[in-house]
Structure 1
Amino acid sequence: MEKVVVSLGGSIIIPDDRDGEFLSKFASVLSKVSEEFEVYVVCGGGKIARYYIVTGRELQATEDELDDLGIQATRINARLVQLALKSRAIQTVPTTVEEAAALGGKGKVVIMGGTTPGHTTDGVSAALAEKVGASRVVNATSVDGVYTADPRKDKSARKYDRISFQQLREMLGGKHGAGSSHVFDPMGAEIVMRNKIPILVVAGRDLAEMERAIRGQRISGTVIDG
């Protein structure tokens, strides 16, 4: 059975916009596609994680301590998605990609959050995709693709239909910090590039688009490959 990893941003799970209704509909999509695909979901922390990280910084916590706060928030979000999926999900939250991989192949969706300090959930998604031999990573975000600039701030920003792994790496630069947000994590980008695993960047709350991406069909978002 073909394997797909979904990197589900925290901003998609809990933007405080009829979240329960969305998660129920998202669960229906996952239940349907999991009959044909082996699906793994890695949940981000979103604004809950950022709240704890910002407050932790005010308390002079270290970067590792801040990361740990963020990881705990991702696991709460993962549990929320599990509750939405009910019996269609494995009802434990794996804490490593090895544990998640071992739980796969049982006809149920595996849902997890972060793992260790220094690794974003995008990076975890890439590592999990490598571990299970996934065909693609679906990066579900609050933006409907990769743009030349942030489209929420720059009205002239242009969306890419397709970019290469090398272009992605050039876009990223920088390094990880607790609570940071990019198109995709630099560590994760290196993993998918090494393994030639395509990334499909889509609007996470567009459920029809999400289903197309999981199935590997044509999307209106951005494909990162080559």
Structure 2
Amino acid sequence: MSHAAPAHKRILLKLSGEALMGDDSFGINRATIVRMVEEIAEVTRLGVQVAVVIGGGNIFRGVAGGSVGMDRATADYMGMLATVMNALALADAMDKQGLVARVMSAIAIEQVVEPYVRPKALQYLEEGKVVVFAAGTGNPFFTTDTAAALRGAEIGAELVLKATKVDGVYTADPQKDPSATRYTKLSFDEAMSRNLGIMDATAFALCRDQKLPVKVFSIIKHGALKRVVMGEDEGTLVYA
């Protein structure tokens, strides 16, 4: 399969902030982020254009206790800033691996990162740069899952990859139920009727309406990202 052409030419990778923690309780585990970047680099060498939307839960978790009782919009803006911190860390790790990364933020912090401008993002992707989208959609009350669906649709991604710690969607929690089996594929309607909680409802509806398939896979599993891009049986495909 290594000599075959990739099944997908442009992907949107949704990384949770928690995925960057490794075994730490919060923050960024350097070894974890370096390993993830190595997997992304391997995919870009196949000629695949990669954009990333990153969450901020790992940073925000460290201050979450103090946010209890806080206005929801204020807390959400704090979360957006956490995603910018993660995006900068990810881009730095990419640069050290020889990738050219560009961070684009949905909220203006121009001394730190450039603002999100769709034509510029498309230009970067065509040039082979990895684009990291930070600050979610730029609006409170919307998750980074929704940002991934939105940016994926805007840039014409062929697939949204939701990276998790589990290698797909299962009939039950595989850690609690050894008999649980992995779905190879599901329609959006099936996933919603079974209440599988793959993404939040807004993100899910957007992907369904735009006929943008979602692949749920494990970012911890070595080589899984490449196998997904090559069209192999990895993770769970959710399709319209």
Counterpart amino acid of residue 11 in structure 2: V
Are 2:171 and 2:182, in contact at CA under 8 Å, matched by a contact in 1? yes
Residue 207 of structure 1, CA deviation: 3.3
Residue 20 of structure 1, CA deviation: 1.9
Q: What's the counterpart of residue 110 of structure 1?
A: 131
Separation in 2, partners of 1:55, 1:151? 33
Q: Does 1:220 align with 2:227?
A: no
Higher-helix-fraction structure = 1
Listed one character per residue, the Cα deviations across residues 88-116 of structure 1 (whole Å, up to 9, x for unaligned) are 23343422695266223231100123232
Separation in 2, partners of 1:100, 1:205? 30
Separation in 2, partners of 1:219, 1:74? 31
Listed one character per residue, the Cα deviations across residues 189-208 of structure 1 (whole Å, up to 9, x for unaligned) are 11110111111100111231
Q: What's the counterpart of residue 38 of structure 2?
A: 28
Measured on the aligned residues, the alpha-carbon RMSD in Å equals 2.5
Matches within 5 A, 1:181-196: 182-196=197-211
How many residues are matched? 215
The unaligned stretches of length 5 or more in structure 1 are 174-181
Separation in 2, partners of 1:64, 1:170? 30
Separation in 1, partners of 2:146, 2:203? 4
Residue 10 of structure 1, CA deviation: 1.6
187-196 or 204-213: which moved more? Answer: 204-213
Q: What's the counterpart of residue 177 of structure 1?
A: none
Are 1:145 and 1:202, in contact at CA under 8 Å, matched by a contact in 2? yes
Counterpart amino acid of residue 127 in structure 1: L
Q: 1:27 to 1:52 in 2, by over 3 A?
A: same
Separation in 1, partners of 2:209, 2:188? 9
Separation in 2, partners of 1:85, 1:155? 37
Pair member with larger Rg: 2
| The one of 81, 85, 89 aligned to 1:80 | 89
The unaligned stretches of length 5 or more in structure 2 are 1-7, 108-114
Q: What's the counterpart of residue 110 of structure 2?
A: none
72-81 or 22-31: which moved more? Answer: 22-31
Q: Does 1:144 align with 2:167?
A: yes
